[in-house]
Structure formats: C-alpha cells, structure tokens
C-alpha cells in the first residue's frame, strides 16, 4: 500500500515538473492558431463582400467589362485567401511539430487540479 502511494506521489511530482515544459509549446500553438484563424476570417469576409458586390451588379444587367473586372476582383481575393490558408497551415504544422507527444497531458492536468 505504501509503495502505491509513493509511486502515485512520484508520478504527480513528475507531472507537476513536466507541466511548465508542456505549457509553453501548447500556448504557442494556440496563439498561432488564433492568429491564423483571425487572418482567414478577415480574408473570407473580403471574399464575401466582393461576391455580394458581384451579385448586386449582376441583378441589374451590367456591361460585360464591369462583370469581367468584378470577376477579376473575386479571383484576386480568392487567391489571397488561398495563399493565407496555405501559409497558416504551414505555420500551424511547424508549431504542432514542436509540441511534445504528451501535450494532451496538460489539459488533463488542469482538470485534475
């Protein structure tokens, strides 16, 4: 019985010592994810606005030149969105590679306290 208690105390001591080393990479990953999500949301909003402008223009029988310029704007906004998504994906993948394999321990440790 005493052996189990000392093993449990040792285990908890190790978990407490490991927690700060897991916390920093996990917080960095969360920070990068939030920043990437914010950028993607902003670009999605831009695409939505350009598409709404295109739909509004199409409802009034516009000239071909104005439709072409609006479509060019949509393509430009979509390409910017695509570039930002791929950059964000790369950054998140690299940040996730730095998180130790036991990183989900940090979430369990917070709930057990």
Separation between Cα atoms, residue 49 and residue 55, nearest integer Å: 10
Say what the pLDDT of residue 17 is: 61
Is-above-0.85 flag for pTM? Answer: no
Separation between Cα atoms, residue 54 and residue 113, nearest integer Å: 54
Say what the pLDDT of residue 101 is: 57
Say what the pLDDT of residue 92 is: 74
Query: Would you kindly state where each structural domain of the chain is located, as residue ranges?
Result: 2-112
Q: Whole-number mean pLDDT of the chain?
A: 80
Mean pLDDT value of segment 97-113: 54
Separation between Cα atoms, residue 97 and residue 87, nearest integer Å: 16
Separation between Cα atoms, residue 104 and residue 49, nearest integer Å: 39
Say what the pLDDT of residue 113 is: 46
Q: 20 falls in which pLDDT band (50, 70, 90)?
A: low
Mean pLDDT value of segment 14-43: 79
- Give the sign of the dihedral formed by CA 105, CA 24, CA 85, CA 39: positive
């Amino acid at each position: 019985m005493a052996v189990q208690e000392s093993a449990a105390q040792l285990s908890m001591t190790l978990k407490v010592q490991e927690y700060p080393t897991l916390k920093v990479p996990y917080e960095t990953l969360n920070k990068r994810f939030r920043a990437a999500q914010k950028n993607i949301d902003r670009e999605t909003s831009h695409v939505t606005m350009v598409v709404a402008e295109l739909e509004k223009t199409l409802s009034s029988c516009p000239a071909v030149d104005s439709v072409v310029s609006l479509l060019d704007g949509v393509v430009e906004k979509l390409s910017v969105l695509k570039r930002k998504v791929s950059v964000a994906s790369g950054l998140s993948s690299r940040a996730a590679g730095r998180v130790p394999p036991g990183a989900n321990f940090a979430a369990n440790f917070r709930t057990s306290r």
